[in-house]
Structure 1
Amino acid sequence: MSLKSINLLFSIDNNFFEQLKTTLYSLRANTPNTFFRVFVLQEKQFSWKNEFKSFCSALNMTYEPLILGTSRFKYAPINKRYPKTIYYRLLAQEYLPKDIKKVLYLDADILCINNISAFYSLDLKNHLYAAASHSQLTNFTTVVNKVRLQNYETEQYYNSGVLLINVTQARRHIKYKDIYAFIQKKSATLLLPDQDILNSLYGNHILPLPDQIYNLDARKNLIYEMISNGTWNLDWIIKNTVFLHFCGKEKPWEENSKGKFVVLYKHYAHLANLTVVENN
Structure 2
Amino acid sequence: MSGAVDTGAPARGANGLASFHIAFCVDNNYCRPMGATIASIIANNPGQHFTFHVLTLDLSDDNKRRIAAFEQLYPVRTQLHLLEPASFSQFAHFLGHSHYSLSIFTRLVIPTVLGGQTDRVLYLDADILCVASIAEMIALELGGDIAVVVPDAPVTTRRRVAALELAHNEYFNAGVLLMNLQPWMDADISARTLDTLMHGTKDMRFNDQDALNIVLNGRARYVSPRWNYLYDLIHDLDVNKTAMRPVGKAVFIHFAGAVKPWTDWSGHDARLLFRRYLELSPWAGMPLDPAPKNTKEMRMHSRFLWRRSKPLQSLAWFLRYLRKRAAK
**TM-score of the two chains, using structure 1 as the length reference:** 0.81
Find the counterpart in structure 2 of residue 158 from structure 1: 172
| Amino acid across the alignment from 2:252 | F
> How many Å apart are 1:180 and its aligned residue?
3.2
Q: What is the Cα deviation at residue 267 of structure 1?
A: 1.9
Residue 228 of structure 2 is aligned with which of 176, 201, 215? 215
Cα distance in 1 for residues equivalent to 2:234 and 2:136:
24
| Corresponding position: 1:50 with 2:65 | yes
Which of 260, 273, 277 aligns to 1:268? It is 277
Report the aligned-residue RMSD: 2.8
Q: Which string of whole-angstrom CA distances, capped at 9 and with x for unpartnered residues, describes residues 147-197 of structure 1? A: 32122x223110000111111211211255423321222387211112101
2-structure distance, mates of 1:39, 1:273: 16
Equivalent residue pairs, number: 256
Match of 1:41 among 55, 60, 63: 55
Q: Which has the higher contact order (CA 8 A, sep 6+)?
A: 1
For the pair 1:69 / 2:84, whether they are aligned, the reply is yes
Please state whether the residue corresponding to 1:115 is helix, strand or coil.
coil
Cα separation, partners in 2 of 1:85 and 1:257, compared to 1, 3 Å: farther
Specify the alignment match of 2:304 in structure 1.
none
Q: Which runs of 5+ in 1 are unaligned?
A: 224-232
Task: State the identity as a percent.
Answer: 24
The answer to which structure has the higher strand fraction is 1
Normalised TM-score (structure 2): 0.70
**Are 2:192 and 1:178 equivalent residues in the alignment?**
yes
Cα contact 1:77–1:187 (8 A) shared by 2:
no
- Quick check: 1:148 aligned with 2:163? yes
Deviation at 1:129, TM superposition (A): 1.0
Q: Distance in 1 between matches of 2:282 and 2:116?
A: 33
Deviation at 1:266, TM superposition (A): 2.1
Which of 10, 23, 37 is the aligned partner of 1:23? Answer: 37
- How many angstroms apart in 2 are the aligned matches of 1:74 and 1:269? 39
Which structure 2 segments of 5+ residues have no match?
1-14, 89-94, 237-244, 287-328
2:263 aligns with: 254
Matched, 1:109 2:127: yes
Whole-angstrom distance in 1 between the partners of 2:194 and 2:269: 40
Larger CA deviation: 118-127 vs 195-204? 118-127
Q: C-alpha distance in 1, partners of 2:50/2:40?
A: 13
Q: Deviations over 1:226-252 (max 9, x none)?
A: xxxxxxx72x62xx2110000111111
After TM superposition, which residue ranges in structure 1, 4 or more long, deviate above 6 angstroms? 220-223, 274-277
Secondary structure of the corresponding residue to residue 149 of structure 2: strand
